[in-house]
């Protein structure tokens, strides 16, 4: 990486931002402080995960310092009562327009979803929506209504004398014009379509209520998309003094990718006049598994990332632009969530498997010496897989065959494209054996090979998986990547 140039004069907006450092550090009342662990995102899009009460035990065993959920589930909130963990709850995206249009609707949501559990359950953040600015299908219906909905929620809390609950929303890195990797960080800015219309009013609200800008920041995705130029060690907090990046405008030196991403968000906020708004990391982490056509998702990398993150954040280092600033930080996620769609990484972020066993040992307080952990399995996919790949019915779905579910998926696959399932018609090369499993193998693969370049995944409602073993048989040949 580049060596550090002489420190040069900072642009005006960075000078203003620098002047706010002392304010920021003094005013930041982070969810976590020395001796408290990282927060954990407790998602539940999975089959047969442990009960909320057992989940609390697993969170405690991992050293969690706070919990974030994606709704206001009564069973979860009751299980968290008395734990003294700061808890973040969430308003669903789809009701944001109603919240915006009606203060009464917002107050009713607070009355039904927060008041019955507070303060026994220590709700700290009430997040309105999840990554709504990443969903262009709701640009007209929901984006302009985000801040008014937050204002109505805030008014409801004030009316009830609840001042300790902060209102926010979570945004992905794609709120920035260059997405997750604006390099140098000093060049970062919010997208033109949302900067003035949505983000500036949002920052005004957060600044006025002393709340946080919650960002979902994943170095994994940046590294996976730029692995020829971004060293893996830099993404895993292992670069030290050997792997670093220097911003040519600010002269600030970065030793890890997450700091780059967070400072990019801070700089983008400063360019809109809100450099003092505090930052929180709503989601970060590393996948412990992935598909064959993905890279670097494995237990080794996931453990290294989260262990190093915990050790680092225990010291409240801030970032190069905001040294010493405290930040709420939540790792994603408590469990591997097998019912999430999309590529394989989506189902492999957990600290625990669905049966409650740990994916790898971790102490989220960051106090356990890194050298004391047992050896990890060697990573086997840190470079792209270059061989052929097929998509077939998963081993689990084959073993416990649900004829209806597989039949519906087969019908869907065969209904797409041009001649997707011609080869499994009576008398054709792949008709025999005439079984649901054999036909599903062919149909899933045929569909995926046709449409994978336009975003199709080998998932089919958790019925399919990638394989590197050729499923072709006799004269029936399966197309491969």
Helices (H) and strands (E) in the chain, counts: 15, 12
Catalytic residue among 151, 260, 283, 465: 283
Contact between residue 105 and residue 147 where contact means Cβ atoms under 8 Å apart: no
Of the candidates 270, 207, 265, the one whose C-alpha atom is nearest the C-alpha of residue 27 is: 207
Do the Cβ atoms of 207 and 277 come closer than 8 Å? yes
Catalytic position from the list 131, 260, 346, 465: 131
Burial of 199 (0-12, 13-18, 19+ CB in 10 A): buried
DSSP at 198: I
Q: How far is the C-alpha of 375 from the C-alpha of 358, rounded, in Å?
A: 15
- Smallest CA-to-CA distance from 313 within 262, 273, 269 is with 262
Of 437, 460, 357, 465, the residue nearest 48 (C-alpha): 357
Task: Please check whether residue 359 is in contact with residue 288, taking contact to mean a CB–CB distance below 8 angstroms.
Answer: yes
Give the tokens for residue 111. Answer: 């009355």
Q: Which two tokens stand for residue 418?
A: 């041009």
Q: Are 180 and 261 in contact (CB under 8 A)?
A: yes
Distance (Å) of CA 230 to CA 121, 298, 316: 42, 18, 25
Specify which residues 278 forms β-bridges with: 212
Active site includes 283? yes
- What positions carry a catalytic annotation? 131, 283
């Amino acid at each position: 990486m580049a060596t550090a140039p002489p420190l040069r004069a900072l642009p005006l907006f960075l000078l203003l931002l620098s002047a706010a450092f002392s304010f920021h550090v003094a005013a930041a009342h982070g969810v976590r402080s020395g001796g408290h662990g990282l927060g954990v995102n407790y998602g539940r899009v999975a089959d047969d995960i442990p009960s909320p009460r057992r989940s609390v035990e697993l969170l405690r065993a991992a050293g969690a310092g706070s919990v974030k959920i994606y709704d206001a589930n009564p069973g979860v909130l009751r299980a968290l009562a008395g734990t003294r963990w700061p808890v973040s709850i969430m308003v669903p995206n789809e009701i944001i327009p109603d919240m915006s249009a009606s203060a009464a609707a917002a107050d009713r949501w607070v009355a039904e979803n927060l008041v019955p559990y507070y303060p026994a359950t220590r709700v700290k953040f009430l997040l309105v929506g999840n990554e709504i600015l990443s969903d262009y299908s709701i640009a007209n219906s929901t984006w302009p209504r985000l801040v008014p909905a937050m204002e109505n929620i805030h008014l409801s809390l004030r009316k009830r004398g609840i001042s300790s609950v902060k209102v926010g929303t979570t945004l992905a890195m794609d709120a920035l014009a260059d997405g997750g990797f604006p390099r140098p960080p000093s060049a970062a800015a919010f997208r033109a379509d949302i900067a003035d219309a949505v983000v500036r009013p949002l920052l005004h609200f957060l600044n006025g209520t002393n709340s946080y800008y919650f960002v979902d920041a994943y170095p994994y995705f940046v590294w996976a998309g730029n692995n020829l130029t971004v060293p893996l060690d830099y993404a895993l907090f292992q670069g030290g003094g050997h792997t670093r990046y220097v911003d040519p405008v600010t002269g600030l030196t970065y030793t890890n990718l997450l700091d780059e991403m967070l400072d990019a968000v801070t700089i983008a906020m400063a360019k809109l006049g809100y450099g003092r708004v505090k930052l929180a990391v709503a989601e970060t982490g590393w996948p412990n598994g992935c598909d064959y056509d993905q890279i670097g998702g494995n237990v080794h990398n996931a453990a290294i990332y989260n262990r190093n993150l915990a050790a680092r954040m225990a010291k409240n280092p801030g970032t190069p632009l905001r040294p010493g600033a405290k930040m709420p930080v939540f790792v994603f996620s408590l469990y591997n969530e097998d019912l999430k769609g999309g590529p394989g990484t989506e189902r492999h972020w957990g600290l625990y498997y669905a049966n409650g066993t740990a994916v790898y040992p971790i102490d989220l307080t960051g106090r356990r010496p890194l050298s004391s952990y047992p050896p990890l399995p060697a990573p086997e996919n840190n470079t792209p897989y270059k061989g052929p790949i097929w998509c077939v019915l998963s081993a689990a779905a084959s073993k416990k065959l649900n004829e209806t579910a597989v039949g519906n998926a087969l019908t869907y696959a065969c209904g797409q494209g041009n001649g997707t399932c011609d080869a499994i018609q009576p008398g054709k090369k792949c008709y025999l054996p005439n079984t649901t499993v054999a036909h599903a193998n062919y149909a899933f693969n045929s569909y995926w090979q046709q449409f994978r370049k336009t975003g199709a995944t080998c998932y089919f409602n958790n019925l399919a998986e990638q394989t590197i073993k050729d499923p072709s048989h006799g004269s029936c040949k399966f197309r491969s990547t």
